[in-house]
Chain A
Amino acid sequence: GENVEQHPSTLSVQEGDSAVIKCTYSDSASNYFPWYKQELGKGPQLIIDIRSNVGEKKDQRIAVTLNKTAKHFSLHITETQPEDSAVYFCAASGGEGSNYKLTFGKGTLLTVNP
């Protein structure tokens, strides 16, 4: 089955700096890669996603890049703000026998210091 590795597990940045979180996946058939943000006491919320026919997608301060050859994808947050502090999860779906299951990374705790 699919295996998703996520790094780093914790990330601390100063307000206004950029943050980058990286994920790798094992199943070359996976073709959907969402990113979720989870605030304390809440369920994860989708912030951006990318499909395998696209190499990069941007939404305001958030961007995701995908390298299918290397089987890795990354989340980029620019001009970070304290409200960006949360746990971020990457996920992959669409691989063999799992065209609806999401396999998640273990998460990155992002802290933005004012």
Chain B
Amino acid sequence: GAGVSQSPSNKVTEKGKDVELRCDPISGHTALYWYRQSLGQGLEFLIYFQGNSAPDKSGLPSDRFSAERTGGSVSTLTIQRTQQEDSAVYLCASSLARLAGGYNEQFFGPGTRLTVL
């Protein structure tokens, strides 16, 4: 079946502009995650959605970053007034709901490479 998809695959923008990145999770996955991967770095957690629960936004680096998940499916990560340090690959992942005491594999999309000039 289809995996996690993200669009666009590449985005080049000018400093100060707003950008929206989209994630389509695997059908039936209620958990959705956004990560940021900077050059030579590991993946940095940004935000987590689980069903209708309030999202965990603890990883968002500043108030310029926000994310929504509509209808429990598609998610959009928005970065306002982009800065050069926002340049990175933004990865989305989805998983089945986590069972008590258990873990479900996170399936990653191919990412969106954001370049802020």
Contacts and interface: CB of A to CB of B under 8 A. Distances in A.
B42 A93 contact: no
Interface string A30-56: 001010100001111110010100000
B11 to A, nearest CB: 15
Given A46-B105, A51-B103, A100-B31, A105 B111 contact: no
B72 interface: no
Contacts of B50: 100
A43 B91 contact: yes
A99 B31 CA distance: 13
- Name the residue among A34, A99, A104 with the largest chain B CB count within 10 angstroms: A104
A22 interface: no
B110 A41 contact: yes
A103 interface: yes
A103 B109 CA distance: 18
Contact of B109 (A32, A43, A49): A43
Interface of A: 4, 6, 32, 34, 36, 41-46, 49, 51, 89, 91, 93-94, 99-107
22 contacts: A34-B103, A36-B108, A41-B110, A42-B110, A43-B4, A43-B109, A44-B43, A44-B91, A46-B105, A46-B106, A49-B103, A89-B42, A91-B43, A94-B103, A100-B31, A100-B48, A101-B56, A102-B43, A104-B42, A106-B40, A106-B41, A107-B41
